[in-house]
Amino acid sequence: MTAPSILETFASAAHSFADLVGRIPADALSGPGLGEWDLRSLVGHTSRSLTTVLTYLETTAQAEDIATPQEYYARVNPAALGLDPADVAARGRQAGRDLGDDPAAAVADLVSRATARLETVDDPLIRVLGGLGIRLRTYLPTRTFELAVHSLDIARAVGLSFTLPTPVLEEALVLAARIAAGQQGQTVLMALTGRDALPASFSIV
């Protein structure tokens, strides 16, 4: 059996996210989401993994500054770019408002537009946050990762049963391991093999 392509796995993550949002009760959107975000803001933040694909496909970078998905996480984050975390939180809230009165329909439309647009391109060199250049097929696994993790956040926040598609879970886990290897790889390896527990509030992102 042929392994799914990067594009197929991204599409699977996107459709899974849309299906989940379609099951959220309307009265839950103003409830708790993640951290300082309510659920609408968390859904909005997650939807940015679709809107950024659409936006960045309209850009062209002059150089490939980022060569791997794990390098993206090392270089495109608030600390590395000197961004105020409050601005990141505000973008999530605005993205939630942008979903309008029917977030499920808005997300479904974004998924349709993003996946259709991806079918029209090969592997362009795009420009992401910070003006850095990255190949599309290097960038997409980072969006699959975000869709996977935040879909789990959403399901947990609203108490919905949810299982990630196997290729999505596998790709996200592999990327998580690669990110960890560049930071605290030995710590994670010892935890995964039952030698030690991870420190409290440990995170790779």
Question: pLDDT, tens digit, for every residue of 103-144?
Answer: 999 999 999 999 999 999 999 999 999 999 999 999 999 999
What pLDDT score does 2 carry?
64
**Residues sharing a CB contact under 8 Å with residue 73, sequence separation 6 or more, in sequence order:** 142, 179, 204, 205
Percent of the chain exceeding pLDDT 90 equals: 86
Q: How confident is the model at residue 81 (pLDDT cuts 50, 70, 90)?
A: confident
Alpha-carbon span 142 to 158, nearest angstrom: 24
Amino acid at 113: R
Q: Out of 1.20.120, 1.10.8, 1.10.3470, 1.10.10, which CATH number does the structure's domain 6-192 have?
A: 1.20.120
Q: How confident is the model at residue 204 (pLDDT cuts 50, 70, 90)?
A: confident
Residue 37 β-bridge partners: 34
For the chain, domain boundaries? 6-192
Question: pLDDT, tens digit, for every residue of 15-38?
Answer: 999 999 999 999 999 999 999 999
Q: How confident is the model at residue 201 (pLDDT cuts 50, 70, 90)?
A: confident
